[in-house]
A and B are shown apart, each in its own frame.
Chain A
């Protein structure tokens, strides 16, 4: 144990003290935020520049008032009285983005509305126009038939969807989309831990082997101690990195609430000036969703075990080669289950109780990602979580046993690439 601790410390410090680590840890989230800000900025730009002004030539004489009566965001409709030719010229000169012709026989349901523009409006404008015209036409024709105004009211009903997450203990306020996002984020974090930190372990093993320093090390410690010290040391590094990121993100989220509250005027919400942030947010109907503690605890456990399992496997791959370039073929089988568990995030999100989701979250090699996704979006039966975790622990022990045997022999093998047959032989060496 003493030796493992010495190796752990050395592996940890030599990485954490490096400039690269400090940069990625501190600048990583900043870069991510900057990235999202840029994306958001561009999106906002496109949204505003998307607003179009459309001249309407209404030959029916009845539809335009109805069209104008409705809210017209984000596009503008303008009545055009002039003859078609001059409207066309106006569009070509850029006065309008386009013009819409509503022929008289549209009312009888035979004619077609036509939109003329220099550049296509895109699907959103097309849908928007269709939607408006359809509603105006529908209303007009219904009125022609003397339909009861009450019925018209009924037809006007527009539905907006409210999402509430159901749990056994009751309803959890908040958008279920939030939980999906959270699930995806937690899944991605585990994915990073398994893939990125696993790869770090692999390159560490390759470096020791390529520089031949490994022979000196294992004349002082058992290969198993070296393997464990390395895996745990790099794991500790990963944990520090994740914790820093988590603190930054949580800080950001807390800060976000404060900022939102700052922009809300208590008076406007009929609250006393001294109203607390929560009260303001509650009155404004803004809920910052909460995460239950057990989901977080399970996340940490699956995170750690998932990393340990794959770190062992990646170490074994590292021990089988001499240079980084040689890893490609060997690393694929190890990465496959990780990639698989990411590929299936979407189906798991959509039906977290499907057989696919349950099976994926029970197989140790794929379990960590789908399991935390399910935990985030739904209520997973406790026995399933426990079984999945127990299998993962067994998987980890098995993987470290196999890996340490491959590792022990592999780190001293030079000159030829290991094949499956060799691996079986290595594992039988005493």
Chain B
């Protein structure tokens, strides 16, 4: 029940949206698909969902090319949500389930179960447009998983949900994973990806920059991040940055994430902190957070591109 994307390219006119992309998603694991806006995530997902077809390469699910058959085993929650406004919640869910090949009776039974689990049973007979945005989000999530698909594609599933519902959703996604489903999770929210994903695949400008199990990826970037918690004047941080020794990530009044640049030894930072700060509570060398890896890798690629373009112009 694995999904394999094999050297896939998609062009729109002269624009290459996806360029020779290769990755795999395994059952019982969650693959995080990351990338900046316009990176080619949606184009890739649409090809997996057999909404569009690749110009080159092949996409297989369970060993066979994706097509109408794999569509039946797939649930897709697009980033741009949408439901029929005038259909009643129950009709809506039943229609979408029937399109996946579920019969009415079974669909109705499952609709009851899921509406109850999401605390929406009272709304079953209401028109969809009468529901709040968050409720509609939940309805669409139910519609995605109702036919019990083997492959689940979730594009920003948490957007617009309050913390309680987000937690509920996270729980359900974990359950689905444990049931052995193959899950594709696309998001910009790095902390969600870190929390949920087993594997990641970072796309930018249609190309894969980083991929692999989350642990391995993080390890490969080394322990080059310092978490510092302190009291006192924080001007020394700016000084360190000005000297080109570190780059400051997340920063608040008493806490900072510092990324060591060009092999700056960690003790150099500790010395500075002890020297300037009134007190130091925490000094820890850690793996970089995913957001840091993301920014690094993407700016490196785009910086490279900018440089080539600049050279080109100078000539």
Contacts and interface: CB of A to CB of B under 8 A. Distances in A.
Interface of A: 3, 6-7, 10, 14, 18, 207-208, 211-222, 412, 425, 430
A220 B84 contact: no
B78 A215 contact: yes
A279 to B, nearest CB: 54
26 contacts: A3-B99, A6-B95, A6-B98, A6-B99, A10-B95, A14-B84, A14-B87, A14-B91, A18-B86, A208-B84, A211-B85, A212-B80, A212-B81, A215-B51, A215-B76, A215-B78, A215-B80, A216-B96, A216-B140, A218-B51, A219-B50, A219-B74, A219-B76, A412-B46, A412-B51, A412-B52
Contacts of B143: 216
A5 to B, nearest CB: 10
B13 interface: yes
Most chain B beta carbons < 10 A, residue from A3, A7, A216, A218: A216
Contact of A220 (B78, B91, B99): B99
B242 to A, nearest CB: 42
Contacts of A3: 99
A419 to B, nearest CB: 13
Interface in B214-245: none
Interface in B60-79: 68, 71-72, 74, 76, 78
A211 B83 contact: yes
Considering the complex of A and B, which 4 residue pairs feature the smallest CB-CB distances, nearest first? A212-B82, A213-B82, A220-B99, A211-B82
B100 A220 contact: yes
A133 to B, nearest CB: 69
Most chain B beta carbons < 10 A, residue from A208, A214, A220, A425: A220
Given A218-B51, A220-B71, A211 B84 contact: yes
A423 B157 CA distance: 33
A212 B53 CA distance: 20
B49 interface: yes
Contacts of B13: 425
A73 B82 CA distance: 70
Nearest to B80: A212
B102 to A, nearest CB: 10
Contacts of A14: 84, 86-87, 91
A222 B68 CA distance: 8
Nearest to B67: A222
A208 B86 CA distance: 11
Contact of A219 (B51, B83, B84, B91): B51
Given A14-B91, A213-B82, A219-B74, 9 more contacts: A3-B99, A14-B87, A212-B82, A213-B84, A215-B82, A216-B76, A216-B140, A220-B71, A430-B53
B203 to A, nearest CB: 19
Contact of A212 (B49, B78, B100): B78
A10 B92 CA distance: 10
A217 B49 CA distance: 11
- Main secondary structure on chain A at its contact with chain B? helix
A161 B251 CA distance: 99
Interface residues of B, number: 30
Contacts of A216: 76, 78, 82, 96, 140, 143
A10 B96 CA distance: 10
Contacts of B46: 412
A219 B74 CA distance: 8
Most chain B beta carbons < 10 A, residue from A3, A211, A219, A222: A219
Given A219-B76, A425-B13, A214 B82 contact: yes
Interface in B239-268: none
Nearest to A223: B51
Nearest to A425: B13
A221 B80 contact: no
Contacts of B82: 211-216
A151 to B, nearest CB: 79
A219 B49 contact: yes
Contacts of B76: 215-216, 219
Nearest to B155: A215
B16 to A, nearest CB: 15
A132 B87 CA distance: 70
Contacts of B85: 207, 211
Contacts of A219: 49-51, 71, 74, 76, 78
A217 B87 contact: no
A220 B87 CA distance: 18
Contacts of A207: 84-85
A29 B13 CA distance: 52
Nearest to A218: B51
Interface string B6-42: 0000000100000000000000000000000000000
Contacts of A425: 13
Nearest to B87: A14
A18 B143 CA distance: 24
Interface string B82-116: 11111100010001101110000000000000000
Contacts of B68: 222
Nearest to A414: B80
A158 B122 CA distance: 80
B105 to A, nearest CB: 15
A211 B51 CA distance: 17
Contacts of A18: 86
Contacts of A208: 84
B71 to A, nearest CB: 6
Nearest to A430: B53
Nearest to A412: B51
B183 to A, nearest CB: 16
Contacts of B51: 215, 218-219, 412
Nearest to B95: A10
A416 to B, nearest CB: 12
Nearest to B13: A425
Contacts of B87: 14
Contacts of A213: 82-84
A223 to B, nearest CB: 9
Contacts of B98: 6, 10
B96 A220 contact: yes
Contacts of B100: 220
A429 to B, nearest CB: 8
A199 B228 CA distance: 64
A218 B45 CA distance: 13
Contacts of B95: 6, 10
Most chain A beta carbons < 10 A, residue from B51, B85, B87: B51
B42 to A, nearest CB: 9
A215 to B, nearest CB: 5
